[in-house]
Structure 1
Amino acid sequence: MAIAAAKLLPAAAAVSKGRSLSSPCSVSYSTLYRLSSSSSSSSSSAALQLDSLKFVVSSKFRNPSSLRICSAASSSSMSIQAPPEITSAASFLERKESGILHFVKYQGLGNDFILVDNRDSHEPRITPEQAVKLCDRNFGIGADGVIFAMPGINGTDYTMRIFNSDGSEPEMCGNGIRCFARFIAELENLQGKQSFTIHTGAGLIVPEIQEDGQVRVDMGEPILKASDVPTKLQPNKGQSVVKSKLEVDGVSWNVTCVSMGNPHCVTFGTEVSKNLQVDELNLAEIGPKFEHHVMFPARTNTEFVQVFSPTHLKMRVWERGAGATLACGTGACSVVVAAVLEGHAGRSCTVDLPGGPLEIEWKEENNHIYMTGPAEVVFYGSVPL
């Protein structure tokens, strides 16, 4: 029985063809096969042809002895050679092949990203158009964005750039910066507590990997000046827009505008209904109307917030350029700032997002916001460009 040669493909390749690679076991590598009829009429046996190979490493897989192989079709007489041993992002990404993009997919509370080692160049390895295709969840890898780890600028350790799933380039991403920090630590084979200085479109950001693997990020100071957010809404508290009226599709919403290097519009409810029940929102319908509102010349991220207590908030987010996502780090930071300014909460809060909780603290002594949350490897992969 002959098995054809295979190349590494992203996990979504199998999904896009309607094939399931799920297994009750903890799978580190998976192979996908296609059974096809033999071209020889004299043989009634089916030839097993290797259709594609998906390469997966779970965040817990580091021991080669735990390697397991599962297949969609199997034969007792078949011998399968395991793919080359890969035990880290660095060893995998050292592979250099023309026309092939090697990547590691990470997620932070379900906000997922394709991480690319771009440390040898200040130019992204792929175009925004290619990023759109890679982020497609049906025909690509599937992600909220592509993040590039680049050389530092102006004395920083590294530079982070992002292409959203729609090809636009945001200034920063809170969940993305946590994934970025974990990615760098693995590329550099760093263990334990580590911190980095990262140049972003929103300025200097300093993430710190904790001993427990969580990442605490100094997100800097919030920007509240209306013209810098930016928003065309008239300031109503000094130079800031706090609990101001915004007409959206005939409904008057109370909004506070904050920038964390990228614009955010935070609302706790309408003039009529001040106690927002975020799970009842039709986010796909209302979100784009906020994002593209004439009052936001650079578009905006929008957070809809429910208050449980002065230390416990719940939010859903419509991200500029990505739509409804499971988490938004800069959004969670903006929510706490808005909650403090509107008198809903204190400066230290747990913010529940669809993907899980983030711990946010807005320190009064230095005006900096600190975000703490997880970032985990999903899988390693390669895709032809």
Structure 2
Amino acid sequence: MHIPFRKMHGLGNDFVVIDARAHPVPVTARRAAALADRKTGIGCDQLIVLEPATHADVRMRIFNPDGGEVEACGNASRAVGMLLGPEHGGETRIETLGGDLVARVDDHGISVAMGVPRFGWDAIPLAYAMDTLAMPVAWEDLADPVAVNVGNPHVVFFVPDADAVDLARLGPLIEHDPLFPARVNVNVATLTGPDAITLHVWERGAGLTRACGTGACATAVAAMRRRLTGRRVTVTLPGGPLTIAWDAHDNVIMTGPAATSFTGTFAANDYPA
């Protein structure tokens, strides 16, 4: 049996998308990791599986390259919104482990309502109680981060020069620190203007990435909570910019592009579940 897939990306954050709504496709950690492998598989930052939803238009399952299933992915949500928007009049409600999202397609790109961010130490989660707006912890020169849960856990460090931080080395140390029982995504950000941020992200289970939608949301909200910016900012990642707004109802709205790279099929026996 051959299984169709679509290769998509948002600012270079790339996905293999399998539409399993009509025909179920078993996905295990083993199969997800094999498909994500860039040398022996199709290659991607995340494997996305679309399934029938219980209370939304579609259920989106997200697997990292290590095979672990995670709660949310902002860039993938935009890709799915672009893919399914025509079926749903331009607006798609997406069910995820991190909560329901709404993706809208318009002339400005694809906007995703990512929901209300959470800041309680136990909602991140952290191993013990502390102030999440200025955490009294440090890893070498990275200190006093902000913790935010935007469907998945993030810590955000504001530094003078994000480009100068060795995130490839420090990212995994922080991700796997016992302070974060569910591990954590690590964001290093620099303010470059009144409402402009440059960002690098070490993504939990994936490593350095060209773009991370939830990381951009978490970083923007962290800057807003510290009164470093207004309620609408441009976050520029290595793959390009995203616009993040935190509206009057406390919903975080992310806007940016998405694209299809190519389509294809793979033999199910080549990637056993």
Q: Which band: TM-score by shorter chain?
A: over 0.9
Alignment of 1:32-43 (within 5 A): none
Q: After TM superposition, give the deviation of residue 198 of structure 1 in Å.
A: 1.1
Contact 1:243 1:342 in 2 (8 A): no
Q: After TM superposition, give the deviation of residue 356 of structure 1 in Å.
A: 0.4
Separation in 2 of the partners of 1:139 and 1:147? 18
- 1:147 pairs, out of 18, 25, 48, with 48
Separation in 2 of the partners of 1:283 and 1:242? 21
**Structure with greater Cα Rg:** 1
Give the TM-score normalised by the residue count of structure 1: 0.67
Alignment of 1:51-130 (within 5 A): 98=1, 100-120=2-22, 124-130=25-31
User: What per-residue deviation string (whole Å, max 9, x for no partner) do you get for residues 202-225 of structure 1?
Assistant: 11100001135x100111100111
Q: After TM superposition, give the deviation of residue 309 of structure 1 in Å.
A: 1.8
Counterpart position of 2:178: 294
Q: After TM superposition, give the deviation of residue 290 of structure 1 in Å.
A: 1.0
Contact 1:245 1:252 in 2 (8 A): no
Separation in 1 of the partners of 2:58 and 2:265? 23
Separation in 1 of the partners of 2:243 and 2:227? 19
Query: Given the alignment of the two structures, is residue 331 of structure 1 paired with residue 226 of structure 2, yes or no?
Result: no
- 1:203 pairs, out of 66, 76, 99, with 99
Alignment of 1:310-321 (within 5 A): 310-321=194-205
Alignment of 1:271-310 (within 5 A): 275=160, 277-310=161-194
DSSP 3-state at the match of 2:168: helix
DSSP 3-state at the match of 2:172: helix
The percent of aligned pairs where both chains have the same amino acid is 38
Superposition misfits of 4+ residues, deviation over 6 angstroms: none
User: What per-residue deviation string (whole Å, max 9, x for no partner) do you get for residues 240-284 of structure 1?
Assistant: x11222232x44611000001100001103xxxxx2x11112221
Query: Given the alignment of the two structures, is residue 264 of structure 1 paired with residue 160 of structure 2, yes or no?
Result: no
Query: Given the alignment of the two structures, is residue 243 of structure 1 paired with residue 144 of structure 2, yes or no?
Result: no
Residue type of the partner of 1:246? V
Query: Given the alignment of the two structures, is residue 180 of structure 1 paired with residue 180 of structure 2, yes or no?
Result: no
Q: Structure 2 vs 1, CA of residues 333 and 162 (structure 1 numbering), >3 Å: closer, same or farther?
A: same
Alignment root-mean-square deviation, CA: 1.6
Counterpart position of 1:345: 229
- 2:125 pairs, out of 230, 236, 239, with 230
Give the TM-score normalised by the residue count of structure 2: 0.94
Separation in 1 of the partners of 2:179 and 2:185? 13
Q: Structure 2 vs 1, CA of residues 360 and 384 (structure 1 numbering), >3 Å: closer, same or farther?
A: same
Residue type of the partner of 1:207? A
Separation in 1 of the partners of 2:58 and 2:267? 26
- 1:194 pairs, out of 63, 83, 90, with 90
Separation in 1 of the partners of 2:104 and 2:165? 35
- 1:384 pairs, out of 238, 242, 267, with 267
> Which protein is richer in strand relative to its size?
2
Counterpart position of 2:271: none
Residue type of the partner of 2:260? V
Mark the runs of 5 or more structure 1 residues left unpaired by the alignment.
1-97, 270-274
Contact 1:181 1:207 in 2 (8 A): yes
